[in-house]
Amino acid sequence: MSGQPNAPGLIVFDVTRMACVETIPPLFPPAPIIRAGRDFKVYGDFTISEPFGHLIHEIMAATAGTVDWQANYYAEEMGGANDVMLGTVSGNFTGTGISTVVPHTYTTPDTDLVVVGGITVPGTYRLTCTVTCLFAGSIPMPITGFVEGELIQIHA
């Protein structure tokens, strides 16, 4: 399940993938089985297209400000009560070519989050990524897009 909200021809902002890899060499993508307490990395892919991308560029030009994006990563334990907010990664649309290159896709390494110390409670978890746009660096829009990622198993 990806995207939301999308209105073809008006707003196309699509979060299309979330993946998980172990941070110990060698990197094995995807990494669906991870030892409890071990670091791992998650990342998401999202694409912004016209005319939404052009609107963001115009807002930045009119206000001499920035429009930032924020990716939030979550792990929901299946059948358990150990839901985890893994962390947040932020970036901005300035300097990325959004004014001239649309659609523009954001992916690893821009969206990487290393979960230091991993998840400590063994179980099966569903990963989720939400992406929100922030105007002037702090004024949030509603969740712009989300994707439910793969299942991972944390073992002792």
Nearest to 17 by CA among 125, 153, 146, 118: 146
d(CA 140, CA 2): 20
For 58, the token pair is 């115009």
Backbone region of residue 81 per phi and psi (left: phi > 0; alpha: psi in -120 to 50; beta: other values): alpha
In the predicted model, what is the mean pLDDT of residues 108-121? Answer: 92
25 vs 42 pLDDT, higher one? 42
pLDDT at 74: 96
Tell me the pTM.
0.83
pLDDT at 73: 96
Handedness of CA 33, 38, 17, 146 (dihedral sign): positive
Number of structural domains (the chain) is 1
The CA-based angle 6-8-13, given to 5 degrees, is 40
> Nearest-CA neighbor of 111 among 29, 16, 43, 13?
43
Residue 78: domain span:
2-155
Give buried/exposed letters for 50-85 (b at 16+ CB in 10 A, else e).
Answer: eebbeebbebbeeeeebbbbbbbbbbebeeeeeebe
CA-CA distance, 8 to 4, in Å (whole number)? 11
Question: pLDDT tens digits, residue range 80-110?
Answer: 889 999 999 998 775 444 555 567 788 888 8
Q: What is the CATH number of the domain that holds 125?
A: 2.60.40.10
